[in-house]
Structure 1
Amino acid sequence: MALPFRREAEETGRLLALSDGVIAIAITLLVLEIAVPEVPAGTPPSIVAELVFEQSHQFLGYTLSFLVIGLYWTLHRRIFIHIEAHDRRIVWLNLLFLLLVAFVPYATSVFSTYPNRLGVSFIAAVLALTGLSLASLWIYASRRELIEAGLTSRTVGIQATRFLISPIVFAGSIAVASVDPTWAMLTWVLLVPINVVLNSRLVESLEEESSPQD
């Protein structure tokens, strides 16, 4: 019979189930933070469009946080595709990641209420820390050799770079926000082409590993 701690180390199903549940709730809470505007009595219905337009920062915050949480969920899934066993530190690093994910709806609310230097810097800091916790999870697992055998150092490095790029961009946007919050938000768009390039390189590396060697 396998030792209890060994069976526990090989079990990842409950870890993933908890992670998926927390992430799903966090994404749902994002839209619940957006309240339907109330039309004052005696005002024409045409004012509704104006009131909705005034919520543009709420929609921006919702879209940004939804996409980033979705990206982090994809990267989290990629980690546990390759992890074959885990230890207590993996569990606690994963809980740290979930703690920060669950905090994203509040950060989004702050950004939506104060779409200035404060709000931009606050949400960027939370998203940077969330991404950093995910990167730490991957780096720790790869160094402790808890990931599947056969992954080359190139593949592991590309994965680490992809995990780190989001916190780097968000941390950089905090510095930009001190000059111009609008430009800081525009830097977040850099995540799209950078992730596309890194994902392409990752796919190439994985295909090279799976191709038969002469």
Structure 2
Amino acid sequence: MTDGVFAIAMTLMVLSLDLPRLPGKTTEAELLSALRGLLLPLFKYAISFLLLGTFWVIHIRQAHHVRRVDVVYLWLGMGALLLITLVPFSTSLVGDYPDMGPAEYFFHLNILGISTLYAAQWAHATRHHRLVEPDLQPGMIEKERRLGLLIPAFAIMGLMLAAEGPFESNLLYAAVPPLAALLRRFS
């Protein structure tokens, strides 16, 4: 089910990219101008796709270590999926209202909610090796815990930067995958 939710959410996001209707006799310059107008929505789409991809990787990495589930773990996952299905809406919202603070705040809160639920899910699963393999090394648990706090930290920074502008507050998220790769390698 989870893979399907991710796939549908990622696909739905592209539907929010609308090229404005151009007159029947459109010039190349008019088309290029219309395409330039899509740069910010395309940027938002790419960031949202990157984030959903990162959340999917987090889900897969956690699932690799989880050997059993309980009701709390399942409901934390359902909460994350609920918020994942909101990402196409929050992406569309910031695309339609690019200079409006409430749209930016909604997007960052959406990302903060998803990332916090995944961090809580990992914490719940690994506390006293509750749901993970008993021989999972404490160092591995701690490394994944730290990585799980990366996106919530970036979402909080995004919330603080949202007043400065949509581009700046979302550009932060582009740093998540390379930073996570560095943390995995050197911790």
TM-score (norm 1): 0.80
1: CA distance, partners of 2:157 / 2:21: 37
Confirm whether residue 137 of structure 1 aligns to residue 121 of structure 2. yes
Q: Which residue of 2 aligns with 1:158?
A: 143
Which structure 1 segments of 5+ residues have no match? Answer: 1-17, 203-214
Give the alignment's Cα RMSD to 1 decimal.
1.7
CA contact (8 A) 2:54 2:177 kept: no
1: CA distance, partners of 2:131 / 2:60: 15
Q: Which residue of 1 aligns with 2:106?
A: 122
Identity percentage of aligned residues: 26
2: CA distance, partners of 1:24 / 1:47: 34
Matches within 5 A, 1:1-214: 18-116=1-99, 117-143=101-127, 145-201=130-186
1: CA distance, partners of 2:98 / 2:21: 21
1: CA distance, partners of 2:63 / 2:170: 31
Tell me which amino acid in the other structure corresponds to 1:123: F
Tell me which amino acid in the other structure corresponds to 1:157: E
Tell me which amino acid in the other structure corresponds to 2:185: S
* CA offset digits 1:178-204 (Å, max 9, x no partner): 3444432333333233212222146xx
Give the total of aligned pairs: 185
Q: Partner of 2:61: helix, strand, or coil?
A: helix
2: CA distance, partners of 1:107 / 1:181: 13
The answer to which of 47-56 and 193-202 deviates more is 193-202
1: CA distance, partners of 2:29 / 2:168: 32
Q: Partner of 1:199: helix, strand, or coil?
A: helix
Tell me which amino acid in the other structure corresponds to 1:30: M
CA contact (8 A) 2:109 2:155 kept: yes
* Greater length-normalized contact order (CA 8 Å, ≥ 6 residues apart): 2
